[in-house]
Structure 1
Amino acid sequence: MTPTTLQIPELIRTLRKRLNLSQEKFAARLGVSFQTVNRWEKGRAVPSPMAIKLIELQLRQMGERGADLLEAYFSDGG
């Protein structure tokens, strides 16, 4: 399962804040532009499938700090 279009802004913002990163630094970590992250957070654009995979990877690398977000946004329910 992947996050829905309506969930993406909240997911991106929450993840970025947990990592204590600005939009610029979060963008650099994912290999996208600041404007791209800004558009994701405002709901004006959605991440590509590759960017979604990178976001999921960031959550997995966080361990317990990202476990609830993984469950909420990426769980397949079983």
Structure 2
Amino acid sequence: MSVKRPLVMNQPQIGQLVRELRLLVGLTQEQFAAHLGVTCGSINRWENGRSEPLPLAQQQIWQCIEQMGDRGEELLQKYLAN
């Protein structure tokens, strides 16, 4: 898995991936936003399909997924296999 890998999926899938990742690591939207260095509103918009993460935020999301090891790989398989 590469940290700079772009999120190549449709908007609803990105939002679902972000939400599931956040819940797996046990963070609120506010906590996850602080972890990524974005606003809580950004997390909310991503999860609700109103916008998608910018490239820098995508890299940070990939880093979170990589740090999860096998759980992160399973999450990617779930969303990238579709």
With normalisation by structure 2, the TM-score equals 0.81
Indicate the SS of the match to 2:11: coil
Asked if residue 26 in structure 1 is aligned to residue 32 in structure 2, the reply is yes
Q: Distance in 2 between matches of 1:17 and 1:72?
A: 15
| Cα RMSD (Å) | 1.7
The CA deviation at 1:74 is 5.8
1:41 aligns with 2:47: yes
The equivalences for 1:1-78 within 5 A come to 2=7, 3-73=9-79
CA contact (8 A) 1:24 1:34 kept: yes
- AA paired with 1:18? L
Unaligned runs of 5+ in 2: 1-5
In the alignment, the residues of structure 1 paired with residue 80 and residue 31 of structure 2 have an alpha-carbon distance, to the nearest angstrom, of: 23
TM-score w.r.t. structure 1 length? Answer: 0.84
